[in-house]
Amino acid sequence: MSKSRSGGSEPPSDKPERNYEVGYGKPPAERKFRPGRSGNPAGRPRGSKNKIKDSDLISLVLSEAQRVIKINDGERSIKTPVAQAVVRSIGINAMKGDPRSQRQFTEILFTAERERARIERENISALMDYKIRAEKELERRARLGITGLPEIIPHPDQIILDLRNQRNGEAWIVGPLTKEEKDNSIAFYEEFRDDSRQMLQVFKNRLAVSEQALAEETRPAVVRRLKKAIERDRDVIKSHKSKSEEMCGKFRPWGFIETRDLWEEPIELKFPWAP
Q: Is 69 helix (H, G, I), strand (E, B) or coil?
A: strand
Q: Which helix (H) or strand (E) holds 139?
A: helix 99-144
Stretch among 71-75, 173-177, 261-265 having the lowest mean pLDDT: 261-265
CA–CA gap between residue 41 and residue 136 (Å, rounded) = 73
Q: Which of 195, 198, 203 is nearest to 237 (CA)?
A: 203
Cis peptide leading into residue 154 (ω within 30°) = yes
The pTM (predicted TM-score) of the whole model is 0.50
Over the stretch 27-56, which tens digit does the pLDDT of each residue have?
Answer: 666 666 666 666 666 655 555 555 666 678
Q: Which of 165, 143, 160, 87 is nearest to 275 (CA)?
A: 143
Over the stretch 221-269, which tens digit does the pLDDT of each residue have?
Answer: 999 999 999 999 999 999 998 888 887 776 655 555 444 444 455 566 6
CA–CA gap between residue 23 and residue 252 (Å, rounded) = 92
Higher pLDDT, 27 or 130: 130
Beta bridge partners of 3: 9
